[in-house]
Amino acid sequence: MGERTETSARVNSQRESSDGGVPPVNDAGFARWLADRAGQILLQVRDEMGFADGKALKAAGDKAAHHLMRAELARWRPADAVLSEEDDHARDAWLEGENTTVRPERLSSSRVWIIDPLDGTREFSEEGRADWAVHVALWTADCSSPSCLSAGAVAMPAQHRTIATDHSPAYPPLPLNAAIGGPIRIAASRTRPPAFVTALAEEIGAELVPMGSAGVKIAAVINGDADAYVHAGGQYEWDSAAPVAVALATGLHASRIDGSELKYNEADPKLPDLVVCRKDLAPRLLAALQRHLPSE
């Protein structure tokens, strides 16, 4: 067994033997508890493995967080379905049965946990970076909003910070630079920003704030460190479900870039674009986005 595999095996066995106690009964508290537990494991994996082999670190982080979350969900919410980025067939709308294709179980479940065990995987593997997160969201069939997200938590372990719908953060105050007519700050992917985002920013006099992880970018909007998060060109439900749950609970605007609703637990989990921003900014940003929508 190589040194790195040994480290990963040791982290796994410590994880399995460590007891996180009894989690909160309510779903939002449970989401926070689960995201925090996975976050602790991820910090441990980073400490144990170091940054010499980024690829191995990413793989070990994804795996450790996924296994822990799957195990705790099976233990504490056994009747619920789970959609995790790290499941083998997570991206498939249909699964191969014996002689036919079958629908994934989650499509007939009334409660589905949509989880991204490690969002911002690239940044997780880079020393000194804190822009990575753990996402836990609960989709329920019985709901009153189009997204049907009834709980969500985003842990940012390297920032020692977790936001969740059990104690929804306060609506962000109008930042001073917005009040005095300063530039809007748009958070965008540091490695895969939408093709149109530079032109969009120029058109509305905005400045771009590159960072990793969809969860961290939406947390920046919730926090008031950015005014908006704009993404297009590809993403999946697990990349946005948890932070969108918190953003909506906070009272922010969250939609597709054409203004339509974000929907979760769809047969095809692709959810390639979104915009999250303060409500006062939404009409202006959506109007500008209309002029930049990628042609289908």
Ligand X SMILES: Nc1ncnc2c1ncn2[C@@H]1O[C@H](COP(=O)(O)O)[C@@H](OP(=O)(O)O)[C@H]1O
Specify the residue for token string 């939404």. 282
Question: Where do the H-state alpha helices sit in the chain?
Answer: 3-17, 27-49, 54-76, 121-124, 176-179, 197-204, 214-223, 237-250, 282-290
3-state DSSP helix/strand/coil % of the chain, to nearest 5:
40, 20, 40
Applying CB under 6 A, among 27, 36, 80, 85 the residue interacting with ligand X is 85
Q: Which stretch binds Mg ion (CB under 5 A): 2-10, 25-33, 187-195, 237-245?
A: 237-245
* Residue 92, burial from CB neighbour count under 10 angstroms (0-12, 13-18, 19+): middle
Residue 121 contact partner, candidates ligand X, Mg ion, none, CB within 5 to 8 A by sort of partner:
ligand X
Nearer to ligand X, 169 or 269 (CB): 269
Applying CB under 6 A, among 7, 84, 109, 121 the residue interacting with ligand X is 121
What residues have CB less than 8 Å from 286, skipping those under 6 apart? 255, 257, 259, 275
Nearer to Mg ion, 184 or 229 (CB): 229
Q: Which of residues 229-288 bind ligand X (CB under 6 A)?
A: 233-235, 239
Residue 62 found at the interface with Mg ion (CB under 5 A): no
Applying CB under 6 A, among 116, 227, 237, 273 the residue interacting with ligand X is 116
Nearer to ligand X, 23 or 256 (CB): 256
Applying CB under 6 A, among 23, 104, 157, 212 the residue interacting with ligand X is 212
What is the rounded end-to-end Cα distance, in angstroms, of the chain? 49
Q: How far apart are CA 293 and CA 274, in angstroms?
A: 11
Residue 192 contact partner, candidates ligand X, Mg ion, none, CB within 5 to 8 A by sort of partner:
ligand X
Nearer to Mg ion, 46 or 231 (CB): 231
Residue 192 found at the interface with ligand X (CB under 6 A): yes
Distances in whole angstroms, Cα of residue 278 to Cα of each of 66, 171, 214, 252, 282: 32, 8, 16, 5, 7
Residue 239 found at the interface with Mg ion (CB under 5 A): yes
Task: Supply the minimum distance, in Å, between the C-beta of residue 66 and ligand X.
Answer: 11
Nearer to Mg ion, 119 or 123 (CB): 119
Applying CB under 6 A, among 39, 120, 172, 269 the residue interacting with ligand X is 120
Applying CB under 6 A, among 214, 218, 222, 230 the residue interacting with ligand X is 214
In this structure, what token pair is assigned to residue 118? 């490690």
Q: Position 26: which residue type?
A: N
Indicate the SS3 state at residue 102.
strand
Task: Supply the minimum distance, in Å, between the C-beta of residue 21 and ligand X.
Answer: 27
Residue 113, by phi and psi: left (phi above 0), alpha (psi -120 to 50) or beta? beta
Residue 123 found at the interface with Mg ion (CB under 5 A): no
**Which residues sit at the interface with ligand X, rule CB under 6 A?**
85, 116, 119-121, 189, 191-192, 212-214, 233-235, 239
